[in-house]
Amino acid sequence: MQPSSRLEVIDQFRGFAMMMMVLANYSERIESIPGWLRHTPDVGLTVVDLGAPVFIFAIGLTHCLSVRRRTGRDGWGKTVEHFLRRYMALFGIGALIAYGQILVGESQARVSWDVLQSIAIAGLLTLPFMRLPSAYRVGVGIVLLAVYQLLLNHWWLEEVVNSSHGGLLGSVGWAAMLVLATVFADRFHDVKLRRSYPWLVLLTMVVGIGLALFIPVSKIRISASYVLISLGTSGILFWIFHQLVDNLDFRVPLFAVWGRNPLLLYLLHYLLLAVMVLPGIPGWYPQAPPWLVIMQMAGLLGVMSWIGWQLHRRDWRLSL
């Protein structure tokens, strides 16, 4: 596979993940939307609970490649500086979003914490291991996940459950997910090893399902069973994208448009959501009838897609 086609499928996949997250955030407070299309309050798993894992999996697909490429060009010291600045900026943006949610009364958690903060901390925790071979990173990911689950069981549960996206402590679980995602990425990017990729992600999902017999599946807790099931599911979904984009030459241009400017569109979706939240009219947002929900969703996706397309036409991207 040529690098360009590989990047195309990752853009498509990343854009799909972004769209999932945007729709999940919009629908979270809509009373007419059924529970299986909203985040699970605690134990359980719905399709929208996979939004963040799919996006983290997309990050993992390029994380090692980016670190290695920059290290080869600038050296390890400058590479660490670059990623420290990137993740600190990402954390700061997420903190502002979390504070904004508190101001408008949109955050219901005791500790408001945005997913960008979780991604930033996960990135910082995983950075030291990105130059290790895959076999070592498997061990790192498993140890991180096991230690996190142990701490969660005995000391961290209340703090994690009462924080959006698990808060600072829950970021350890997201970090384990990211490390393991980079292992899958190595398998996929290496043409000789790619045949083992679908079996590896399927095995991960099966192990997660087995683990669910002992450890509850919970996105709120970022439990070990949730991490493995969602990681395996994300990997299978990416394999389907690979078959469609690279082998069948089937593309959804809209996904690529979203995938090329994920950070900017993520920030934009919060501004658009404010149009629905800030008026404080029950019938306008939380108690909106189905026809209004459909119109708002169409407007939200339409505006974001139009802006994303304009940025794509001008070849302009926001990156840290």
pLDDT of 23-61, one tens digit each?
A: 998 988 898 888 888 888 899 999 999 999 999 999 999
* Of 205-209, 211-215, 308-312, minimum mean pLDDT range: 308-312
The pLDDT, as a whole number, for residue 309 is: 94
Q: Burial letters for 20-51: b for 16+ Cβ neighbours within 10 Å, e otherwise? A: bbbbbbbbbbbeebeeeebbbeeebbbebbbb
- Above 60 in pLDDT, residue 1? no
The pLDDT, as a whole number, for residue 110 is: 63
pLDDT tens, 166-186?
999 999 999 999 999 999 999
Q: How many CB atoms lie within 10 A of CB 82?
A: 16
pLDDT tens, 133-163?
999 999 999 999 999 999 999 999 999 999 9
Q: Mean pLDDT across the stretch 14-29? A: 91
Handedness of CA 96, 121, 226, 132 (dihedral sign): positive
pTM: 0.94
The pLDDT, as a whole number, for residue 222 is: 97
Q: Mean pLDDT across the stretch 302-316? A: 92
Q: Mean pLDDT across the stretch 291-309? A: 95
Q: Burial letters for 283-316: b for 16+ Cβ neighbours within 10 Å, e otherwise? A: eebeebeeebbeebbeebbeebbebbeebbeeee
Give Cα separations from 87 to 55, 75, 224, 260, 304 (angstroms): 16, 19, 24, 19, 24
Angle at 49 between CA 172 and CA 98, to 5 degrees: 60
The pLDDT, as a whole number, for residue 4 is: 39
Locate the domains of the chain by residue range: 3-313
Q: Mean pLDDT across the stretch 218-246? A: 97
What CA–CA distance (Å, rounded) separates 93 from 118? 12
Please tell me whether residue 55 adopts helix, strand or coil conformation: helix
pLDDT classification of 106: cutoffs 50, 70, 90: low
Closest by CA position to 127, among listed 70, 211, 170, 45: 70
User: Tokens 């690979």, residue?
Assistant: 242
pLDDT classification of 107: cutoffs 50, 70, 90: low
Question: Between 224-242 and 51-74, two packed helices, what is the crossing angle to 10 degrees?
Answer: 70
The pLDDT, as a whole number, for residue 225 is: 98
pLDDT classification of 6: cutoffs 50, 70, 90: very low
pLDDT tens, 258-282?
999 999 999 999 999 988 888 888 8
The pLDDT, as a whole number, for residue 3 is: 40
- Above 90 in pLDDT, residue 111? no
Q: How many CB atoms lie within 10 A of CB 229?
A: 25
What CA–CA distance (Å, rounded) separates 183 from 157? 28
pLDDT tens, 56-90?
999 999 999 999 999 999 999 999 999 999 999 99
